[in-house]
Amino acid sequence: MPSDQQSGTESSGPRHVAIIMDGNGRWAQARGRPRLFGHHAGAKRVREVVEACPSLGIKYLTIFAFSTENWKRTQVEVAGLMSLFRRYIAKETRALHARGVRVRFIGDRVRLDTKLIALMDTLEEQTRENEGVHLTIALNYGGRDEVARATRRLARDVAEGRLKPEEVDEETLPRYLDTRVLPDPDLVIRTSGEARISNFLLWQSAYSEYEFIDTLWPDFTADELARLCQSYGSRDRRFGAVKA
C-alpha cells in the first residue's frame, strides 16, 4: 500500500501515527514501584490512545511494544513483559473487535512462546475484516532485523528466478517488509525525553515527521496526541521538492 506522500494525497493531520512508548520503567521507579508496575500502567494507556484515533483522523496506529534488543533486560522483566502481552491480548480481544479495530503484529515471532503466538494469531484472525483503526503492534521487532529478513526473502526470489536483479529498486524491498500492507508513518512520536529512534521503522520513516516529548508513556494522554497531530498539520512537508 502506498504512503500518502507516494500517492500524492494530502491531509492536514497524520493518517498514520507510530509511537515509541518509552518511560514505563522510570515512571514506576519514580513512584517507588517495580518496573513491571509501569509496564502495566503503560498497557492501560494504549486503550485510550486507540480510542482517540478516529476523532483525530488517524487511520493507522503503530506502537513499539518490545524490541529485539529488549531481550537484554533482566529475565524477570522479560518474563513479566511476556506475561503482560498474553494477558493484554486475552483481555482486549473482545473490546478491540467490538470497536472495529484491525490488529496486526510485526516482528520476528521465532523467539516468542507458543501460547503468545497463538493469541496473536487469534487476534489477527478475529479482527481481519474490521475497517476501523488499523492497530499494528511491533513485538520482538527491530528495524535492521526486519530489513535483513526482507532482504533474505528478496534474495530467495532472485535465486529462484521469480525476480530479476535488474528489477530490484527502492520500490521492491518494501513489498518484503513486515509492513508491506501499511502506508509509511506520517508522524513518529517518542515519549520520555529520549531523542533517538531506537531501530524503529528505519526504512518506513524516511520522510516521517518526528516528535520527541518529555512525557513518560503512562502519562501520555489523548489530549497530548491531539496537540501533536495539530502541530503536524502546521508543518510544511515538501519531500525534497521546492514550492513554486
| Strand extents, DSSP E, 95-145 | 102-106, 134-141
Q: End-to-end CA distance of the chain, in Å? A: 29
153 assigned to a ligand binding site: no
42 assigned to a ligand binding site: no
134 assigned to a ligand binding site: no
170 assigned to a ligand binding site: no
Residue type, 36: L
Choose, from 22, 178, 184, 186, the residue flagged as catalytic.
22
140 among known catalytic residues? no
169 assigned to a ligand binding site: no
132 assigned to a ligand binding site: no
What helix, strand, coil percent values describe the chain, rounded to 5?
A: 45, 15, 40
190 assigned to a ligand binding site: yes
Q: Which long-range contacts (CB under 8 A, 24 or more apart) does 46-49 make?
A: 46/21, 46/88, 47/92, 47/95, 48/221, 48/222, 49/19, 49/220, 49/222, 49/225
Choose, from 4, 70, 108, 145, the residue flagged as catalytic.
70
236 among known catalytic residues? no
73 assigned to a ligand binding site: yes
Question: Residue 212 and residue 225: Cα distance in Å, rounded?
Answer: 12
197 assigned to a ligand binding site: yes
Annotated binding site for Mg(2+): 22, 209
Indicate which residues carry an active-site annotation.
Answer: 22, 70
Annotated binding site for substrate: 23-27, 35, 39, 67-69, 71, 73, 190, 196-198
Annotated binding site: 22-27, 35, 39, 67-69, 71, 73, 190, 196-198, 209
